[in-house]
Structure 1
Amino acid sequence: MDPEALLSLAEYLRARSKYSEAVVTLKKALKSFSIAGNNEGGLLSSLSIADNLRMLGKFRNAIRYYHIAFEISKEMRDRKSQADSITGTGLSLRAMGLWKESLKNFRSSLEIYESTDDIEGIAFVLWAVGGALRVKGDINSAIDYFRKAGDLYRRLRDIQGEGYCYCALGGAHRVAGHYKMSHSYYNKANIIFVKLRDKFGTAYSFCGTGNSLRMMGQFTEAKSYFRSALRIYRRIGDIVSSAYTLWSMGMLYIMESRYLMADRYLNTALHYFKKTGDVRGKSYYLIARSQKEFLTGNINESRKMLNSAVHITHKWGFSIEKCHALLLLSILDQKDVKCYKEIGMHHKFKSLPCNIP
């Protein structure tokens, strides 16, 4: 098969969320383009390989291919592709919890998109910046960026982009403590993604809906949505999103005092967090698992885990997760902590278990 046909096949596979198969196909295309000295084909192949690897949670490998794409685009003086490569690198860094580094990349790519009046690129980077700010713990600013991105996507009549902004807003509002609003945004996103037959987006909105229901105490309904999300994530090989969905199931089972089930889901989530190099995910594991240890009488182990979580979140600058860990420690020590209010969150946890958002 000629390399152009391989690119078309890879896009067909990617559109159906068959990321692993797409990577195999694209590597064949890249090899053919490299032999032929076709820079344009090499650039398209490298960028697509990186995007698919990122969807599979292989972030370091994705960054390697984004770098290859950046070097080719530099040689071709293709500013847009340079920006796309920088943005992709930023998304990979963000997924590993490296929000400071990701923001540097996003600022660089935004400058290029603005200089070339690339509205679609600007919208995407604004959404990406919002996600990095959410990882940082700056919820109010994250919401502002998601709204700006959503406005641009509406202007472009890009309903898929709008759907991802709704998901992002749903997540940010859940973390802020606005559970009904979160549920509403995820529902809007789900309607769009089901209509578009976007498997990843559908799973993303299912997981978000499950989390909003979990926070409202509707555990049976939440589990149904989590299971639907996990089925799709497994089918498309997305261990990144699976990890957080598994964590949510684990947290839910802690709330139901079903500790063996909680262990099962949390341990699998931790395995995936380690596999993708997600340090923020590890802090979430410690925060949930520490509650289970406390509730089953292992007070010292619980405290040890929370101190580890505080260390990780302080080191990497995860304000929200640090606040969760400090709150749980304050409950153990019967002290008062007011860090939620300081970062724009509205949760009122007073005893364990705390249904961490």
Structure 2
Amino acid sequence: MLIINYSFSQNDSKIEKLKKRLEQDNISKSEKSKALSALSYNHSNIDSSLFFAEQALAIAREINDANLQADALQEISHVEYRLGNNSKSLDASLRALRIYDSLGLTELKAAIYGQLANNSLTDKDYNSAITYLKNAEHIYTISDKRGNLILTQLNLGEAYRLEGQLDSAAIYFKETLEKNKTKNNNIVQGYSLGNLGMVLRAQESFDVAEWHLVEAIAILEPLGDAYSTSVYLTELGRIYWKTSQWNLAEAKLLSAYHMANEAGLKEQIRDFSRTLTDFYKERQQYDKALDYLEINRIYQDSLVNKASIQQIEQLKANYEIGKRESEISLLNTVTTNQRNQMILLGIGVLFISVLALMLFRGNRAIKKVNERIANQNIIIEKREQEKALLLKELNHRVKNNLQMISSLLSLQSHELSGHPAQEALLAGKHRVEALSLVHRKLYQEGAETKIALKEYIEELVLGLFYGYNVPFKPKLSIDNSSISIDKAIPLALIINEIVVNSLKYAYADIKAPSLEITVKEVAQHQLELDISDNGIGFTEKEGDKKNSFGLKLIHSLIGQLDGHIERLKTNGTHWKIKLGHI
């Protein structure tokens, strides 16, 4: 687990002070740029944070202040990284690094090296990450006003562990434990112990590894760090499994799985369910093994499975495509000029022998040009295939980035347990997952703009039922047809809002709950959706309510699809939706 050398949190009072400062007439452009960068740092809304950082950069460029430009670029890098735009984050970091380097601001350079290491680790470029962290370590060894050296060394140990250099990783983790005796930082202590335990487990030093992992869990679990605690519990389970302590192994593996499930950590749910499958298979408990294998299958494709495409490769591909297109344009120009020359020469030729000679030469030239064009067509076809692959990978990256946002929302909602904002975060999480499913389908099916409607809606609804632990199954009747991505996204959000509302509120005291969804094509490019449940239905007051966010969102999305929605008066709740131009 990597500890990032920067943090962000929202401070409402500080944000209000910064906003009031920006509204003052006597504020200079330099102060305005600083205030905008500070606002970006303190704001928890990612879109707002990016907007403020870009405004700070624009003003800094206007007044030609290099230091303020670098500060704004550093904030942009952090926000783009949180958004999952690793290429943009990397570009902003490198530009900030060049400025800090020219100004001799060494500790700020070290902070940028830490961000560049995060970018490299996201791309699984561990060697580059180690190089960046080594540069930061060198700077912090000389000057460390903010106490970042120990965090940098902890990150170095983790980078070495991921690279497979276990001895080097162990050295750094032991060094951070030694330094933390004076700092007494619980987070550093927990991560150092846990990561060292993972190294020792990989080196099969089971007794020592067990002690480190137990200590790490004891520190981090009370802090609510479900991610690291569940990982360390799994490592403990592997140790007990390896040493044939079957009951202990099963208890730790199940504890890790349930913790990840409660926290909504989908990547861990996938990995832990695979581990439990293998465990029960070895114990010849095949019914349990099959249960966890099914869970693993559900979560397998919803997470980051492949490294992002490097921006340099995208630029290279675009450059090659552009160069080939220029060559084709040049060849077309040459062909046109030669044809015109042949016509003019043919008019001027008085003798048949001269005309025949010119035709012979012209034909030979055209043949060569046609051969070159044929070769270029082959190259163009290859580039088109590359473009299709890039588009497929783009859909994969968008899906992964959306899933990352969903995981972040899930983690944040876990920390806001009991807070009124928790429900809003969970609702946002489900909406993001609905969007992620669209891009996953595009990636799986290799299609550019179409996805299968039946399979997509079934997976969306079943995923919601699974996520809310609903004990019954929905009744689905969906036509076999395809839908474009720009229609699939609003349709996904509409179904998500209605189904989630039913699962949350409809079935109180309902003994035999049911939910039925019917989707059929009633005319060319027109769909009719019926979503009904046998729940408690809407009260008269609720039925007249028009200003809830969910209803506003549904009506807005229906408008985008040129559709119409009405609620029929039946037992329970019955929505009938008609959509045009699908």
- TM class by shorter chain equals 0.5 to 0.7
Name which of 66, 89, 93 aligns with 2:76: 89
| Structure 2 letter corresponding to 1:203 | I
Q: Conserved in 1, the CA contact under 8 Å of 2:273 and 2:296?
A: no
Q: Conserved in 2, the CA contact under 8 Å of 1:87 and 1:125?
A: yes
Question: Structure 1 residues 46 and 186, CA, compared in 2 at 3 Å: closer, same or farther?
Answer: farther
Distance in 2 between the 1:224 and 1:153 partners? Answer: 29
Aligned to 1:161: 148
| Structure 1 letter corresponding to 2:116 | V
Name which of 249, 268, 272 aligns with 1:288: 272
Shift of 1:307: 4.7
Shift of 1:103: 1.4
Secondary structure in 2 matching 1:160:
coil
Name which of 250, 253, 268 aligns with 1:257: 250
Question: Structure 1 residues 243 and 102, CA, compared in 2 at 3 Å: closer, same or farther?
Answer: farther
Q: Is the deviation greater in 215-224 or in 123-132?
A: 215-224
Q: Conserved in 2, the CA contact under 8 Å of 1:286 and 1:308?
A: no
Question: Structure 1 residues 101 and 300, CA, compared in 2 at 3 Å: closer, same or farther?
Answer: same
Secondary structure in 1 matching 2:11:
helix
Aligned to 1:216: 200
Deviation string for 1:236-255 (max 9, x for gaps)?
xxxxxx35424424533653
Aligned to 1:174: 161
Q: Is residue 34 of structure 1 aligned with residue 22 of structure 2?
A: yes
Distance in 2 between the 1:292 and 1:178 partners? Answer: 27
Aligned to 1:125: 112
How do 1:94-113 and structure 2 match up within 5 A? 94-95=81-82, 97-113=84-100
Unaligned runs of 5+ in 1: 1-16, 235-241, 274-281, 319-357
If the length of structure 1 is used for normalisation, what is the TM-score? 0.64
Unaligned runs of 5+ in 2: 1-5, 202-208, 239-248, 281-288, 311-582
Distance in 1 between the 2:214 and 2:83 partners? Answer: 26
Shift of 1:95: 4.4
Q: Conserved in 1, the CA contact under 8 Å of 2:137 and 2:149?
A: yes
Deviation string for 1:121-150 (max 9, x for gaps)?
222212221221122111122112211121
Q: Conserved in 2, the CA contact under 8 Å of 1:50 and 1:66?
A: yes
How do 1:181-330 and structure 2 match up within 5 A? 181-192=168-179, 195-196=182-183, 202-217=186-201, 218-232=209-223, 234=224, 242=225, 244-252=227-235, 254-255=237-238, 256-258=249-251, 259-269=253-263, 271=264, 282-296=266-280, 297-298=289-290, 300-301=293-294, 304=297, 307-308=300-301, 312-314=304-306, 316=308
Q: Which has the higher contact order (CA 8 A, sep 6+)?
A: 1
Q: Is the deviation greater in 186-195 or in 222-231?
A: 186-195
| Structure 2 letter corresponding to 1:87 | Q
Shift of 1:230: 4.7
Question: Structure 1 residues 184 and 290, CA, compared in 2 at 3 Å: closer, same or farther?
Answer: same
Secondary structure in 2 matching 1:137:
coil
Q: Is the deviation greater in 182-191 or in 170-179?
A: 182-191
Distance in 1 between the 2:79 and 2:230 partners? Answer: 21
Question: Structure 1 residues 168 and 244, CA, compared in 2 at 3 Å: closer, same or farther?
Answer: same
Larger CA Rg, structure 1 vs 2:
2
Shift of 1:34: 1.6
Distance in 1 between the 2:83 and 2:230 partners? Answer: 16
Q: Is the deviation greater in 128-137 or in 181-190?
A: 181-190
Question: Structure 1 residues 89 and 213, CA, compared in 2 at 3 Å: closer, same or farther?
Answer: same
CA RMSD of aligned residues (A): 3.4
Distance in 1 between the 2:233 and 2:269 partners? Answer: 9
Shift of 1:227: 3.7
Question: Structure 1 residues 261 and 128, CA, compared in 2 at 3 Å: closer, same or farther?
Answer: same
Aligned to 2:335: none
Q: Conserved in 1, the CA contact under 8 Å of 2:61 and 2:69?
A: yes
Q: Is the deviation greater in 297-306 or in 23-32?
A: 297-306
Name which of 82, 102, 122 aligns with 1:135: 122
Q: Conserved in 2, the CA contact under 8 Å of 1:170 and 1:184?
A: yes
Distance in 2 between the 1:247 and 1:60 partners? Answer: 31
Distance in 1 between the 2:32 and 2:294 partners? Answer: 52
Task: State how many pairs are aligned.
Answer: 276
Q: Conserved in 2, the CA contact under 8 Å of 1:150 and 1:165?
A: yes
Question: Structure 1 residues 261 and 157, CA, compared in 2 at 3 Å: closer, same or farther?
Answer: closer
Distance in 1 between the 2:218 and 2:168 partners? Answer: 22
Distance in 2 between the 1:92 and 1:250 partners? Answer: 32
Q: Conserved in 2, the CA contact under 8 Å of 1:80 and 1:113?
A: yes
Deviation string for 1:175-218 (max 9, x for gaps)?
12344532432343355456456x5xx51452232122134232
Shift of 1:257: 2.3
Q: Conserved in 1, the CA contact under 8 Å of 2:154 and 2:192?
A: yes
Secondary structure in 2 matching 1:312:
coil
Aligned to 1:50: 40
Identity of aligned residues (%): 16
Q: Conserved in 1, the CA contact under 8 Å of 2:120 and 2:128?
A: yes
Q: Conserved in 1, the CA contact under 8 Å of 2:37 and 2:56?
A: yes
| Structure 2 letter corresponding to 1:120 | E
Distance in 2 between the 1:187 and 1:126 partners? Answer: 23
Shift of 1:78: 2.8
